Amino acid sequence: MAKPKIECVVDARAEIGEGPVWDERRRILFWVDIGGRMLHCFNPSSGDDRVVSLPEEIGCVALRRDGGGLIAAMKSGFARLDPTVGGLEYLHDPEADRPGNRFNDGACDTFGRLWAGTMKMDETRAEPVGALYRFAADGACARIVDGMWTPNGLAFSPDGRTMYLSDSHPSVRTIWAFDYDPDDGVMGNRRTFVDTHALAGRPDGGAVDADGCYWMAGVGGWQLVRFTPGGAVDRIIDMPVEKPTKIAFGGVKLDVMYVTSIGRGYAREARARQPQAGGLFAIEAGVAGLPANRFGA
């Protein structure tokens, strides 16, 4: 297989680049810088990357079915977000009793519910205080999984009946698969999909392609890894940065892999090896994805 073309399309030097979501209607890629408290709006046709500053950390965003802006998982909970001016309308804070946490990764199911996880901001705290939440269009919010370190890797199979979830913490490094009922939003039959201890990177953001294969951004490992639906390693793409964080399929044919990355926390020598760390990358790898699931009834 030919080596894929990898290009840094936005040399953003983001602190924690994350959460890319392709809007196939507007042909814009939304992505976030969690530490930098920014929403990025990248237009590949013009190369413009418009930045919207926000008042607090933003973990992830989801497109809305009605086209009216975005739904964001902010440090202070779920909110409507106007990407043109950065206006926020807070809807629900499920962790008002956990002020040391923030939201991290998230994804919508095929029914339009947003699933998102929280994690501690102080990484020196030695307890798993993160959780996984399900937030519906009617405002109903439920804590589904508790006691997580760094929930990540949320994605759904093409038919919506398999849900993927990972924990990136070095002591866990596991991706799970669940049977999922998209009608009721219920997950069950939790099982290990991949134990990543033998791989170079830890499991960060996840995505599922049109073939039903699961892609893992291997944070700390300089790699993206594709797994078959059975959990076998199918393909590895070497990245020019140590800490890729999440993949989104975009472009007119959904055949461009957009990958975010982390730009902070490197010693001088490590930074010199990856001058574009924190950038947004576009990869032509001969693989197509699916439109992102949208939030709303």
What whole-number distance in Å separates Cα of residue 198 and Cα of residue 287? 25
- How far is residue 31 from each of residues 3, 17, 19, 52, 99, measured CA to CA in Å? 26, 7, 5, 11, 24
Closest CA to 240 of 256, 226, 227, 221: 221
Per the annotation, the verdict on 93 as an active-site residue is no
Instruction: Classify 269 as helix, strand or coil.
Output: helix
In the beta sheet, which residues pair with residue 40? 31, 51
d(CA 242, CA 283): 16
Q: Which residue is catalytic, options 105, 109, 204, 209?
A: 204
Residues with Cβ < 8 Å from 73, sequence gap 6 or more?
A: 58, 59, 60, 61, 103, 104, 106, 114, 116
Catalytic residues: 204
